[in-house]
Structure 1
Amino acid sequence: MSKLFPSRFKLLFYFVKIFIMLSTLLRLIFVVWVFKEIDLSFFKIANTFLIGFLFDLGTVSFFALPYALYLLLLPRRCHGSIFDRIVTWFAYSLGLVIFLFSFFAEITFWEEFKNRFNFIAVDYLIYTYEVVKNINESYPIPLLVSGILILTAALLFITVRMGIFKKTFQSESTFGEKLFPTLLVFGTVLVFALFVKNKDAEQFENRYNNEIAKTGIYSFFAAFQNNELSFTDFYKTLPLNEAFSEVKNEFKKRGDSLLFPEKELIYRNILNTDSLPEERPNVIFICVESLSAKFLGSFGNTENITPTLDSLSNHSLFFTNLFATGTRTVRGMEAITLSIPPTPGRSIVKRENNQQLFTIGEVFRQKGYNRNFFYGGDGYFDNMNSFFGGNGFNIVDRGRGFLMDESITTNRTNIEDDEVTFENAWGIADEDIYNKVIKVADEAHSAGKPFFDFVMTTSNHRPYTYPKGKIDIPSGSGRSGAVKYTDYAIGEFLKKARQKEWFKNTVIIIMADHCASSAGRQELDVKNYHIPALILNLPNTPPLKIDKMASQIDIFPTLFSLLNWNYNSNLYGTDILKMKPEEARAFVGTYRKLGLLKGNDKVMVLGDKKVSNCYQWNRETNELLPLKEDETFLKEIISNYQTADYLFSNGGLKLNSLGLEN
């Protein structure tokens, strides 16, 4: 056995053992963390750890390969030289620091997302300023760093005491003896690089088993490499003309008139069938960060953390059965602005070629509105400035010197230091952004032009900090306090806005971008897509609770209908109030799983292995109970997702493809 694994490789294989031990410990921690949700049957849990062990071997092989090649190529006479000692100590220490850092980073990531590293982790690496500041405000960084360094030193000490360095440096192993272990490491790397994908770890129905079977570092690099998915390559499809025919027929049933019926487009005319005069009020849309429906007393919460929203729910159009399309802010922005089912992979907000698209902003532009996007942080984060600026919005953000694409000529206004009373990693307090909204609204009113403001809040986000003395929950104490402050800030905004002359002619819409959490054991955790939405101050519209199932993508088409607008549309959304019971539906998805939820609580999910699953959603238990596949339902989901993906990928969302000016 010593001939197969010579003493020269003693340290390298000890390094491999440490990684596997840390990774196995991490899996055990995650199992305990979600003990009530994970499938703990012997076969399933054993396979979870077995698959995880194999992925650990593959992952650590990538780290081991450079040093294995070094050991192979360094002549025997140089074993234990000063050069050899420096290289070995440095490589080993660096590797331990990386492994320990990953260990703690995965714990913090799991705490928030109940996922191994994914697109979000990649984004966090890109947006270093916000993320580092957020981590510093949310966690005891000096303690964590000290812990990593102490553990590294302890492992180095143990390694020395076990004589592993000594055996490595005193080895007389020849080139031939070192060849086999090097080839073993190289072969493992080759197999994983060419034949193994991160999703191969997903062999279970339970999502938690799938996530725990993965290895975080491997998942991170897989997400870094693959951030878009080809719908036609990975999902079930229909012939393209059939898919468009399915979608167009649905639009025709609603009374829409297709403007290019022979083309693979959905551009159509929507008429105000009631023949009432059009209303042109100002519109302020407040997109609230991470506001799950479960936080509101109106949905049964007993903490009394949303008194403002609970009161408003009785004086507004209150949508009680509304679902977000995704689990991130950019996915919510995509759904709201483009009114489109979520496309697989990254949100369109973060993709290339996402400017000059037909958005709700284009409808407002054609009605003569100024369009503004407000964000309390730096709008370069998540590509928001580029997306909104490239689609005709004026930008108002914190803007500490980060520029948009130079080709974007949209106006941009910085929120200055003297306009800020409180700020954390993600941006200024909600009260401050609302004060800026009021200031800009005053200016627009003086100019006599209607305005549409898209306001993205930041306070309901880790580290959950906000100005002191505003509410009875201390800043930084957790999500409940952040929700209550968010609610308080909305109340203060409305108090100030009601004193303005422009308020009587201003519609206020409040809706979440997504829920506070998305994790669950099901293929799609439907309950964690349920969000609140309210439309306030509508002219000639009495308060009403609307229980019809609907999607984020439907809110603005509903508003346009309520304002009696005749307009051309490239939006998938429809007027919720005019939906027939059989038309009620909501699109929900992750970056890989694409779902359609129907009004009878049936769910169809498309997976990226060209698979589909049909379920009955139990609202009480939040379980998905398998059903036989419904061909009509399957055609409906495929046609919507396939055509949406096709339109973006082939320019069908572009203004110029619809004969509109840029």
Structure 2
Amino acid sequence: MVLFKKLSPFYNLGVFYFIVSFLLRIILLLHPITQSSFSFTETLKIFCFGLISDFFVFTIFGFFLWMYLIFISDCKYNRPWGYIILGSLITLFLYVASGKSILDEYGGAFPEIVLIFIGIKTLLFALLLFFPKKRKQIRFWLFTFVVFLYVLLILQNAVSEYFFWNEFGVKYNFIAVNYLIYTNEVIGNIMQSYPVVPIFSALFLVTGIVTYFILKQSRNYIDAVPTLKEKFKISVLYIGLFIISLVAIPIAAKTENSKNVFVNELQSNGLYRFYLAFKNNKLDYFKFYKTIPNEKAFALLKQQLSTISGENTVRKIESDSVENHKNVVLITIESYSADFMKAYGNKENITPFLDSLSQKSLQFTNLYATGNRTVRGLEAVTLCLPPTAGESIIKRKDNKNKFSTGFIFKQKGYNVKFMYGGDAFFDNMQDFYSGNGYEIVDKSSFTAEEITFSNVWGVCDEDMYNKAIKVMNQEALQNKPFFNHIMTVSNHRPFTYPNNKIDIPGDIKSRDGGVKYTDYSLRKFFGMASKQPWFQNTVFVIVADHCASSAGKTELPLDKYRIPAFVYSPKIKPEKCTKLMSQIDLMPTVLGMLHFDYQSKFFGQDVLQSDYKPRAFIATYQDLGLIKDNVLTILSPKREVKQFQLKLNHKKSVAPEFQLYYDEILLKKPRTDLINETVSFYQTASSVLKQKKYQKL
């Protein structure tokens, strides 16, 4: 019985969580958006299985409460341990405050957040150590804060689940995860859409009242701190339930198998759904976006890809010339906006080498990135299909054996590699590229002597290029052509790179410095490559993965998707291709330049062909856009569609083909043809992925 009383913080908060979840299910069941009737059996299933799921989820959710409670003790303040612990905390605080800790490699606010946390922890420990007579009082207020925080999170989650249901008629999905990514836009939308002050005022008031009653029933834990033996028993019980919950939660989720979708949604636990959304990274296009009959969608796609038939994208690509098996080096540059370059209006001279190289290349002046994350750019140049709702295919489970540029090159007898200066496990790149037939060369492949500088993202670009030259020299000896895809890392926060390379020091963490060092490294790479025997027989493809930032005045600001891209080879004729095109078109165009004959599944097209119809795809994780005929069409969840007339915002001293900025004016009269075409592209891309029709041949 005594042990049961010591569990009071757990079961009191647990009972409160179950009551809130029960009431939330009733509210959602009666909500107007829940357009369904339920049998007695279905209702029983919703609440009974829902309660079971809630129990196991709360057990996992209680981990931090257990961690906090189990470390409450008086003995740690006894001499000498109290002073040793305090000294360690102060040392850790000073280390983080020095600005030279490993945390500073991440940049942003992360070091400050950790510093504040350690500072508070150090201050509280000092108070409890030096003021033993006030220890009980201080401990009570800390305990109050922890209980208050748990109650607030439980209520906040219930309110969030309600508004999410009110918006979409489902529990959390990838859109909820997306809300954490686009915090500024989401908070702005919430502030404009809901009475935030009254809601949060009521929320804090209710939290305070509930906390008061839970404290009355639970403070026995801190009034008489459990003994070591009692803590051991509590821990054994909790850890046992924790392990059982890890196994039971996914099993309970399998019971969400009703033909009535609302039964499954209401039965589910929102927090676990959020975890699944974060893990699975996808949105079901057919559930959340505007659709047309699949036959019509593929018929419209056939107008773009004239030789396809049926509900797939398989077609024969034929050239009228002999195939040219030159080596191909594809370099995707991290966070490289078009407006960094001189031609697009930049006056800072931060890309002198690429400005020069572009004049000797086939330059694509009007190319748009598909997204605003590295994995989207890699997906675009590797799989050459429009971005689909949710996370990039690279980070999904079903990401292997896809039809890819690497597969085409392998068919033609090439060695195929993906080179990355960081750890390829990051962003699931290792899994994706190795699962699609690429050999991986990443930081783990470097010897200690090959690394002259590195930060949290990996080795500097110079080191990566030095390694690439070594690898390509070895490949050249095999009498086989090579296709090597290099992903750069230096132009990324914290923007640190070796000093004394450019006129901007590497330790001041400057965006302009990151761009200029990236340019400097490329110049060094081309300088080394030009001395190699394979250089004359190599095509270099240079493109950004995405722009440096994505925020703008509109949902999909065009200038935040415009990226530079060009193809260079010693014997190539310098010219400009000014056609509107997508990142997914770049590699099919290169394959066309090599006169490859192959069976294709690509949505991307050779833009140099006479039958190419200009268009570009741009997207976030949930807004899917098509640029065509000077109109931007955007598909959004809840089957929403918006269209904007694009009006050029002309910038003086910039040539017409390099103009970046457009005003997006909402169309009063929709262009139905463009809406259907946009739906066609995104629906068919989602369909072939869902039906596993985008696997390699």
Structures share fold, TM-score greater than 0.5: yes
1:527 has 2:571 as partner:
no
Alignment counterpart, residue 238 of structure 1, candidates 292, 304, 311: 292
Aligned partner of residue 431 in structure 2, secondary structure: helix
**What's 2:332 paired with?**
287
The Cα of 1:526 is off from its aligned counterpart by 1.7
**What's 2:580 paired with?**
549
For residues 113-156 of structure 1, give each alpha carbon's deviation from its aligned partner in whole angstroms, at most 9, with x where no partner exists: xxxxxxxxxxxxxxxxxxx9564453697765443344567799
Alignment counterpart, residue 435 of structure 2, candidates 376, 390, 393: 390
1:148 has 2:117 as partner:
yes
Distance 1:532 1:487 in 2: 13
**What's 1:561 paired with?**
592
For residues 139-179 of structure 1, give each alpha carbon's deviation from its aligned partner in whole angstroms, at most 9, with x where no partner exists: 6977654433445677999999xx99869969xxxxxxxxx
Distance 1:169 1:388 in 2: 53
**What's 2:625 paired with?**
595
Unmatched 5+ residue regions in structure 1? 1-7, 13-61, 71-81, 88-131, 171-180, 400-413
Distance 1:231 1:139 in 2: 34
**What's 1:611 paired with?**
640
Distance 1:528 1:619, change over 3 A: farther
Distance 1:389 1:84 in 2: 44
Alignment counterpart, residue 502 of structure 1, candidates 527, 530, 534: 534
Distance 2:633 2:339 in 1: 24
> Is the 1:369–1:449 contact (alpha carbons within 8 Å) kept by the matching residues of 2?
yes
**What's 2:416 paired with?**
371
The Cα of 1:524 is off from its aligned counterpart by 1.1
1:268 has 2:309 as partner:
no
The Cα of 1:649 is off from its aligned counterpart by 1.5
The Cα of 1:85 is off from its aligned counterpart by 8.4
**What's 1:16 paired with?**
none
Q: How does 1:400-419 map to 2 (within 5 A)?
A: 414-419=445-450
**What's 1:626 paired with?**
666
1:456 has 2:469 as partner:
no
Distance 2:470 2:691 in 1: 40
Q: How does 1:220-369 map to 2 (within 5 A)?
A: 224=278, 227-252=281-306, 257-258=307-308, 261-262=309-310, 264-272=311-319, 275-369=320-414
How many equivalent residue pairs? Answer: 508
| Alignment-mate amino acid for residue 642 of structure 1 | Q
> Is the 2:103–2:110 contact (alpha carbons within 8 Å) kept by the matching residues of 1?
no
The Cα of 1:450 is off from its aligned counterpart by 0.4
> Is the 1:208–1:520 contact (alpha carbons within 8 Å) kept by the matching residues of 2?
no
Aligned partner of residue 501 in structure 1, secondary structure: coil
**What's 2:548 paired with?**
516
Distance 1:579 1:221, change over 3 A: farther
**What's 1:123 paired with?**
none
Aligned partner of residue 483 in structure 1, secondary structure: helix
Distance 1:471 1:509 in 2: 24
> Is the 1:321–1:550 contact (alpha carbons within 8 Å) kept by the matching residues of 2?
yes
Distance 2:123 2:473 in 1: 62
Aligned partner of residue 617 in structure 1, secondary structure: strand
| Alignment-mate amino acid for residue 209 of structure 1 | G
Distance 2:592 2:460 in 1: 33
Distance 1:622 1:152, change over 3 A: farther
Distance 1:351 1:225 in 2: 8
Q: How does 1:34-45 map to 2 (within 5 A)?
A: none
The Cα of 1:445 is off from its aligned counterpart by 1.3
> Is the 1:526–1:622 contact (alpha carbons within 8 Å) kept by the matching residues of 2?
yes
Distance 1:83 1:590, change over 3 A: closer
> Is the 2:361–2:575 contact (alpha carbons within 8 Å) kept by the matching residues of 1?
yes
For residues 470-523 of structure 1, give each alpha carbon's deviation from its aligned partner in whole angstroms, at most 9, with x where no partner exists: 111000321100100100111111111111111000001110000111112311
**What's 1:427 paired with?**
458
TM-score (ref. length: structure 2): 0.65
Unmatched 5+ residue regions in structure 2? 1-7, 13-57, 75-100, 142-148, 166-171, 201-270, 650-660
For residues 324-381 of structure 1, give each alpha carbon's deviation from its aligned partner in whole angstroms, at most 9, with x where no partner exists: 0001111111111100000110100011121111101121112111111101011111
| Alignment-mate amino acid for residue 675 of structure 2 | L
| Alignment-mate amino acid for residue 540 of structure 2 | I
**What's 1:650 paired with?**
691
> Is the 1:283–1:508 contact (alpha carbons within 8 Å) kept by the matching residues of 2?
yes
Distance 2:675 2:108 in 1: 45
Distance 1:187 1:141 in 2: 27
Distance 1:629 1:376, change over 3 A: same
The Cα of 1:438 is off from its aligned counterpart by 1.2
The Cα of 1:221 is off from its aligned counterpart by 6.7
Distance 1:185 1:277 in 2: 65
Aligned partner of residue 366 in structure 2, secondary structure: strand
**What's 1:196 paired with?**
164
Distance 1:156 1:188 in 2: 30
| Alignment-mate amino acid for residue 355 of structure 1 | K
Distance 1:207 1:137, change over 3 A: closer
Distance 1:66 1:444, change over 3 A: closer
> Is the 1:206–1:521 contact (alpha carbons within 8 Å) kept by the matching residues of 2?
no
For residues 441-465 of structure 1, give each alpha carbon's deviation from its aligned partner in whole angstroms, at most 9, with x where no partner exists: 1111111100000001101011111
Distance 1:588 1:142 in 2: 33
1:641 has 2:686 as partner:
no
Distance 1:280 1:225 in 2: 40
> Is the 2:281–2:395 contact (alpha carbons within 8 Å) kept by the matching residues of 1?
no
Aligned partner of residue 378 in structure 2, secondary structure: helix
> Is the 2:626–2:633 contact (alpha carbons within 8 Å) kept by the matching residues of 1?
yes
| Alignment-mate amino acid for residue 269 of structure 1 | K
- Identity in percent: 40
1:138 has 2:107 as partner:
yes
Distance 1:299 1:134 in 2: 35
Aligned partner of residue 477 in structure 2, secondary structure: helix
For residues 309-329 of structure 1, give each alpha carbon's deviation from its aligned partner in whole angstroms, at most 9, with x where no partner exists: 000111001111111000111
> Is the 2:499–2:507 contact (alpha carbons within 8 Å) kept by the matching residues of 1?
no
Distance 1:133 1:340, change over 3 A: farther
**What's 1:407 paired with?**
none
| Alignment-mate amino acid for residue 196 of structure 1 | F
| Alignment-mate amino acid for residue 526 of structure 1 | L
Distance 1:504 1:169, change over 3 A: closer
Alignment counterpart, residue 512 of structure 2, candidates 477, 480, 488: 480
Distance 1:519 1:277, change over 3 A: same
Distance 1:651 1:222 in 2: 21
Distance 1:297 1:183, change over 3 A: closer
Distance 1:333 1:479 in 2: 22
Alignment counterpart, residue 523 of structure 2, candidates 491, 494, 507: 491
Distance 1:84 1:516 in 2: 44
Aligned partner of residue 564 in structure 2, secondary structure: strand
> Is the 1:208–1:521 contact (alpha carbons within 8 Å) kept by the matching residues of 2?
no
| Alignment-mate amino acid for residue 534 of structure 1 | F
Distance 2:70 2:691 in 1: 56
> Is the 1:138–1:463 contact (alpha carbons within 8 Å) kept by the matching residues of 2?
yes
Aligned partner of residue 553 in structure 1, secondary structure: helix
Distance 1:476 1:381 in 2: 24
| Alignment-mate amino acid for residue 250 of structure 1 | Q
The Cα of 1:653 is off from its aligned counterpart by 0.7
| Alignment-mate amino acid for residue 227 of structure 1 | N
The structure with more radius of gyration = 2
Aligned partner of residue 305 in structure 2, secondary structure: helix
